[in-house]
């Protein structure tokens, strides 16, 4: 699933191709990918409008067209990119936005969980997930105190807390595992038990991991591609995610995969000691990403600079 770095990379690659362009025609091939309003109104409101800006909040892409706000959420496998009309139509193509330079902004989604909301000036119909989003982890307003307040008093695992978009926006399975490894915190630790020092470390790690992943244009694990159809380069820098059975880059202990917060969770049992009395269900590791390149050199963990 695309997380903050992947969605940000899509935003940056779409920006020069889409902003300033007039939307001539909206072709809806799969109506259920239009969440709000009805597909006919969606099409009528958008046709003729001009893209002014593209912003990102958490994992949402926000396209401004005058008073209109087009909200896209890619969910599991959504893919937004610009291509020429001559490019063969993809198998899971659901929406085509025809731009006034002849190019097409296409929405492809194999699993069909993602899609669009179109909001008018009153912003009625905003998806609840967007309305309730927590702070942007790369913004200056995300301080160690903000993270501490989000985790304080919570019995839930720190992994579940970081996946909760209302507490921190934009993190998903990959970067939560990476940030917790970087901070040397076990994913099953109850969120409210982290010390002030651990919260400060985790805060720094979340920012470093995300900033590095944005710089590397995201992680292509299976389906993710950017707005030009390219893969991200972050995969080979991941320290624990998808590396069950491999040696920890810090201490050589075998990286484990267990279920935490109902998600496959990767950690080093030595660097990230388990909290007492927590039983963990092992998850059998699948083979890693097909055709991935061999790791050249294990970088010291916790750096990401
Ligand atoms: Zn280790």
Is 38 within a domain? Answer: yes
Q: How far is the CA of 41 from the centre of ligand 1 (A)?
A: 54
Sequential pLDDT tens for the chain (305 residues): 899 999 999 999 999 999 999 999 999 999 999 999 999 999 999 999 999 999 999 999 999 999 999 999 999 889 999 999 999 999 999 999 999 999 999 999 999 999 999 999 999 999 999 999 999 999 999 999 999 999 999 999 999 999 999 999 999 999 999 999 999 999 999 999 999 999 999 999 999 999 999 999 998 877 788 888 888 999 999 999 999 999 999 999 999 999 999 999 999 999 999 988 777 878 776 655 543 433 333 334 444 43
CATH number at residue 65: 3.20.190.10
The tally of domains found in the chain comes to 2
Q: Are residues 11 and 80 in the same domain?
A: yes
How many CA atoms, within 13 angstroms, populate the side-chain half-sphere of residue 278? 18
Closest CA to 18 of 78, 91, 107, 125: 107
d(CA 170, CA 183): 18
Residue 187 structural domain: 144-282
Q: Are residues 102 and 151 in the same domain?
A: no
Q: Are 214 and 9 in contact (CB under 8 A)?
A: yes
Q: How far is the CA of 147 from the centre of ligand 1 (A)?
A: 25
Is 64 within a domain? Answer: yes
Q: Which residue numbers are catalytic?
A: 2-3, 59, 263
Is 200 within a domain? Answer: yes
Q: How far is the CA of 184 from the centre of ligand 1 (A)?
A: 9
Q: How far is the CA of 176 from the centre of ligand 1 (A)?
A: 17
Is 182 within a domain? Answer: yes
Q: Are residues 18 and 49 in the same domain?
A: yes
Q: How far is the CA of 173 from the centre of ligand 1 (A)?
A: 19
Is 193 within a domain? Answer: yes
Is 297 within a domain? Answer: no
CATH number at residue 263: 1.10.8.50
Which of 109, 131, 153 marks a domain boundary?
A: 131
The pTM score is: 0.91
d(CA 256, CA 160): 18
User: Tokens 């083979």 belong to which residue?
Assistant: 287
Q: Are residues 165 and 247 in the same domain?
A: yes
């Amino acid at each position: 699933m695309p997380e903050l770095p992947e969605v940000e990379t899509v935003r940056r690659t779409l920006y020069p191709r889409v902003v300033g362009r007039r939307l001539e025609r909206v072709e809806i091939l799969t109506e259920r990918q239009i969440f709000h309003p009805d597909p006919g109104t969606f099409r009528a409101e958008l046709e003729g409008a001009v893209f002014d800006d593209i912003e990102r909040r958490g994992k949402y892409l926000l396209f401004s067209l005058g008073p209109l706000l087009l909200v896209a959420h890619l969910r599991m496998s959504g893919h937004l990119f610009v291509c020429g009309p001559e490019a063969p139509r993809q198998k899971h193509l659901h929406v085509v936005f025809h731009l006034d330079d002849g190019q097409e902004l296409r929405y492809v989604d194999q699993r069909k969980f993602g899609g669009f909301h179109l909001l008018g000036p009153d912003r009625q119909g905003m998806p609840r997930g967007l309305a309730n989003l927590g702070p942007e982890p790369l913004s200056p307003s995300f301080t160690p105190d903000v993270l501490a307040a989000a985790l304080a008093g919570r019995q839930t695992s720190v992994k579940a807390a970081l996946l909760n978009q209302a507490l921190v926006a934009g993190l998903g399975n990959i970067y939560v595992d990476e940030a917790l490894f970087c901070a040397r915190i076990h994913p099953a630790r109850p969120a409210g038990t982290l010390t002030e020092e651990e919260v400060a470390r985790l805060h720094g790690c979340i920012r470093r991991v995300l900033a590095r992943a944005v710089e590397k244009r995201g992680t292509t694990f299976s389906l993710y591609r950017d707005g030009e159809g390219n893969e991200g380069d972050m995969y080979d820098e991941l320290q624990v995610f998808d590396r069950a059975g491999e040696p920890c880059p810090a201490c050589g202990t075998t990286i484990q995969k267990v279920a935490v917060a109902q998600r496959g969770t990767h950690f080093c049992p030595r660097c990230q000691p388990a909290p007492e009395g927590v039983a963990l269900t092992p998850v059998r590791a699948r083979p890693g990403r097909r055709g991935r390149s061999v790791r050249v050199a294990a970088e010291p963990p916790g750096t990401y600079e």
